[in-house]
Amino acid sequence: MQHFLFLVFILLYLIIVFGNALIVTLIIIDHHLHSPMYFLLANLSFVDLWLSSVTTPKMITDFLRENKTISFGGCMCQILFVHFVGGGEMVLLVVMAYDRYVAICKPLHYSTIMSLKRCIALVVTYWIIGFVHALSQMVVIIQLPFCGPREIDSFFCDIPLVIQLACMDSSTLGILMNGDSGVLAMTCFILLLISYTYILLTVCQHSNTAASKALSTCTAHITVVVLFFGPCIFIYVWPLSITWVDKFLAVFYSVITPLLNPAIYSLRNKEMKNSLKRFRNYYVDPKVRF
């Protein structure tokens, strides 16, 4: 079974790397995609690639090892980067919702509001928020006394599991640490709900054609939001404390979501599909030019 899981997850990881790297490459080289929406999409693909790479390679190699160990420093690094990248992605999804709000509700001012300078500032903001969130967690975790059991029943290190290994009453601390992540997750989730609700209310006041186009544009974003925030809510906001469920959510959060994002955006986005055709015609078949 371990060898079978090794083959499955290494295939999934290769698809994640190829799919997200392809999206970033297309957006960089194709001038048709040089717009704020695709600039943010390239950032999302980069973040998904990084998020998956923090935990998945170690999980894959562990399938071939009898003794699945990780150093204390490696464990702390997993926690730091999972919350750094994951917290940043939450804010990035809010930024992408804001971009869609401006494009649909204020189309005449879109190019002015979502200028390159504004986009770069928003990207820097989500990286800063992710870093501050991760650092606030690490300052507490790294000072805990660990002198007892050293086994974690999961695929990678995360705060709720590591806190349980501390030689102290960690129940209150666990609630506070989960609350830290939960506040960020719920704040971003509520902002996303408000943004997309306002978008839908706005387009409903216009023609059916406009409403249909807006719904088609936002469906991919809403799908990604649900896939990303669903596991986060059940891990940090409303933990179920069921081992197999926690393991499934951990894998879904770090593997399945980064795997599905490229498929969702490329299969539902006409511009991305056209860009992929131009890329294939230009680089795969050099006789055909676009």
Number of domains in the chain: 1
The residue segments making up the domain with residue 208 are 1-283
Q: Identify whether 288 is part of a domain.
A: no
Rounded Cα gap, residues 20 and 132, in angstroms: 26
**pTM more than 0.75:** yes
The reported pLDDT for the residue numbered 128 is: 93
Q: Which two tokens stand for residue 21?
A: 């790297």
Exposed / middle / buried, residue 138 (Cβ in 10 Å: 0-12, 13-18, 19+): middle
Q: Identify whether 289 is part of a domain.
A: no
Q: Identify whether 90 is part of a domain.
A: yes
Q: Identify whether 24 is part of a domain.
A: yes
The reported pLDDT for the residue numbered 290 is: 47
SS3 label, residue 114:
coil
Half-sphere CA count of 170, side-chain side, radius 13 A: 19
Taking CA 42 as the corner, what is the angle to CA 288 and CA 30, rounded to the nearest 5 degrees? 25
Q: Identify whether 139 is part of a domain.
A: yes
Rounded Cα gap, residues 146 and 11, in angstroms: 36
Rounded Cα gap, residues 109 and 196, in angstroms: 19
Cα Rg of the chain, angstroms: 21
Rounded Cα gap, residues 41 and 147, in angstroms: 44
Rounded Cα gap, residues 232 and 19, in angstroms: 23
Half-sphere CA count of 96, side-chain side, radius 13 A: 26
Q: Identify whether 112 is part of a domain.
A: yes
Q: Identify whether 52 is part of a domain.
A: yes
The reported pLDDT for the residue numbered 214 is: 61
Q: Which two tokens stand for residue 33?
A: 């995609």
Length of the chain: 290
14-18 LR contacts (CB < 8 Å, sep 24+): 15/259, 16/48, 16/49, 16/52, 16/56, 16/255, 16/258, 16/259, 16/262, 17/49, 17/52, 17/53
Q: Identify whether 9 is part of a domain.
A: yes
The reported pLDDT for the residue numbered 236 is: 67
CA torsion through residues 37, 183, 180, 228, sign: negative
Enclosing H/E stretch for 256: none
Q: How would you write the pLDDT of the chain (290 residues) with one tens digit per residue?
A: 888 888 999 999 999 999 899 889 989 988 888 889 889 989 999 999 998 898 889 888 888 888 888 888 888 898 899 889 988 888 998 998 898 888 888 888 888 899 989 999 999 998 999 999 889 888 888 888 887 778 887 788 888 788 888 887 777 777 777 777 778 888 888 888 888 888 877 777 765 665 566 666 677 777 777 777 777 777 666 665 666 677 777 788 788 888 887 777 766 677 887 888 887 777 666 555 54
CATH assignment of the domain containing 274: 1.20.1070.10
SS3 label, residue 87:
helix
The reported pLDDT for the residue numbered 71 is: 87
Q: Which two tokens stand for residue 71?
A: 């150093």
What's the one-letter identity of residue 45? S
What's the one-letter identity of residue 162? V
